[in-house]
Amino acid sequence: MIEQANNISPLEVGEVTFALPFQRFSISCAISAEETLPVVTEFSLRLIHACESLAPARLQSFFGFSEKELRSVIATLEDQRLATWQDDELTLTPYAKARFFDSPDGIPRFFKIKDWNGEVAFDLISFSHVVKSAGSKPFPFFVDLRSKDEARESRTVYSAEQAFQSEFRKIIRKERTEIYKMSSVEPKERSVFPLTCKFFVAIDGAPKIVRSLPDEIFSDKLEIAEAISDALSSAPPAKNTRILDFIETFNDDLLSRYVDAGGFDLTRYLRDVHSNRVVGYGDDTEPVLGSLYLKQNRALLLDWTKSSLTSDIDVKKVHSACWLAPRSPFWGRSSSVRLFVSEQERALRGSEDSGSTHDPSPSSSVGIKTIIPCQPGRDAIRLSKIHRGCGPKLFGSDHNVINGQCELFIVSGLYVCALFHYVVDSAITIPIGFISRSASRIEAAAELIRSAHTASSRIFSISDEHDTSDIDVELGFILRGEPRESV
């Protein structure tokens, strides 16, 4: 659950998809299952119970049995040790009386031993039951979760057997059952469960990051919460000293209102602009909060892309987008990134739902060009594997734009979305900024990209850091300051 106080709802700022390891197990056991009797047998037994003892003739008269049917019912009651004879009348056995005594509704129920065989999956951190369809191949952008209890994870068969016994009724979805005897637990393949955690900024006091797991199965598991905290603690937070540079670069008069002698007043900004929405920009600019691939921001940017392309007078231009990532270990580590990229790609290529007439050919250089801050070599290779879903063309840059806390999304000559990744003692940043059609702000953003490709720094192909032959072609619409015309 998300913390909330003083009627101020936390604001969503990001999400991360974690890889929760799980394993399937083939389990065999014997179970004691509670069952009701066949209708005729049950009501015969209930009639005897009500009368305490009953002559066969009265049982036959009450139900209208034939002689053959009467003999069959009596034989069933005797064979199942439910009734016995006493002075030529039928009476209940102690075993049958106990079934009435233990029943909350007066209906006798009996237990039968059955074999049970099935395949069950458990996560390998909290050993909670995972539904069979939950498996996924481990995508590189997933953030791995690891257990603190390495010994428990190494004894998966024992841990799985213990978990199966504790969650047995939930797994087979029957309340009145018990495990009679465990037979075997056989380990099967391992996989991962994609666990998307959403992050919010709470502003009922000093701003702080809180999180929520939408999946109810895992939301109250302490072991998983600790594993997420451990994963997030691996990244030291940055400082926010360069936010003034961000404000000055874009001549951001809205953000500048919240700068005082103590620095930037994030709480007041979030309350006024994003919670209460009492202040904003002019007609060509809107405030933006949170990662661009959050649902609400995906919809906002897609709308801007479509409307900008539709209203663009020069339809001969081929429009690309440049996406400059911040230097943040958890940026782009969400399954929603692929949705953001695919939606923007379709719009930029002129799909039927984009309202554009641009050439949709896959060979066109239209599309998203993503630049990720990194160092050539191992760092670039590692990040290229993680972020290969961030666009058809990936580039690296050994220059950190505004301390690596600046994120830009520029659709060539049409609009820019600029964010400063604010830090509040957490590895999860709070992206704040704007989306704008202002020509001066688009140019300011492009100039920041150019600053990363100079004599002292460079942009390079992320698949091969020595290959720079296509930089001027793919990023020409930014580096040359104007969109490239289609051939």
Q: Residue by residue, what is the 3-state secondary structure of 249-317?
A: HCCCHHHHCCEECCEECHHHHHHHHHHCCCCCCCCCEEEEECCCCCHHHHHHHHHHHHHHHHHCCCCCE
Supply 182's token pair.
Answer: 């465990």
Indicate if 383 and 248 belong to the same structural domain: yes
Indicate if 212 and 335 belong to the same structural domain: no
Is the pLDDT confidence value at 9 over 80? yes
Q: Which long-range contacts (CB under 8 A, 24 or more apart) does 300-305 make?
A: 300/435, 301/340, 301/344, 301/409, 301/417, 301/435, 302/343, 302/344, 302/347, 304/411, 304/415, 304/417, 304/435, 305/344, 305/347, 305/348, 305/354, 305/411, 305/414, 305/415
Mean pLDDT of 117-133: 86
Is the pLDDT confidence value at 202 over 80? yes
Burial class (CB in 10 A: 0-12, 13-18, 19+), 347: buried
- pLDDT of 31 reads 86
Residue at which a domain ends, from 107, 140, 155: 107
Indicate if 100 and 161 belong to the same structural domain: no
> Mean pLDDT: which of 34-48, 145-159, 268-282 is highest?
268-282
- pLDDT of 316 reads 54
- pLDDT of 357 reads 40
Q: Which residue has the tokens 């974690």?
A: 18
Q: Give the residues across from 100 on adjacent strands.
A: none
Is the pLDDT confidence value at 419 over 70? yes
DSSP secondary-structure letter at 133? G
Q: How confident is the model at residue 486 (pLDDT cuts 50, 70, 90)?
A: very low
Indicate if 52 and 140 belong to the same structural domain: no
Average pLDDT over the chain, rounded to whole?
Answer: 84
Mean pLDDT of 341-369: 64
- pLDDT of 440 reads 94
Is the pLDDT confidence value at 360 over 60? no
Evaluate whether residue 487 is within a structural domain: no
Mean pLDDT of 406-424: 95
- pLDDT of 105 reads 65
Indicate if 292 and 402 belong to the same structural domain: yes
Q: How confident is the model at residue 96 (pLDDT cuts 50, 70, 90)?
A: confident
- pLDDT of 318 reads 62
- pLDDT of 485 reads 38
Indicate if 356 and 373 belong to the same structural domain: yes
Report d(CA 67, CA 233) in Å as an integer.
80
Indicate if 274 and 153 belong to the same structural domain: no
Mean pLDDT of 101-121: 77
Which of 129-138, 165-174, 304-313 is predicted with the least confidence, judged by mean pLDDT?
129-138
Q: Which residue has the tokens 């104007």?
A: 482
Report d(CA 412, CA 475) in Å as an integer.
10
Indicate if 261 and 404 belong to the same structural domain: yes
Residue at which a domain ends, from 181, 205, 232: 232
Identify the residue with better confidence: 185 or 481. 185
- pLDDT of 484 reads 38
Evaluate whether residue 274 is within a structural domain: yes
pTM of the model: 0.79
Give the count of domains, the chain.
3
- Structural domain of residue 72, as residue ranges? 38-107
Is the pLDDT confidence value at 62 over 50? yes
Report d(CA 370, CA 16) in Å as an integer.
19
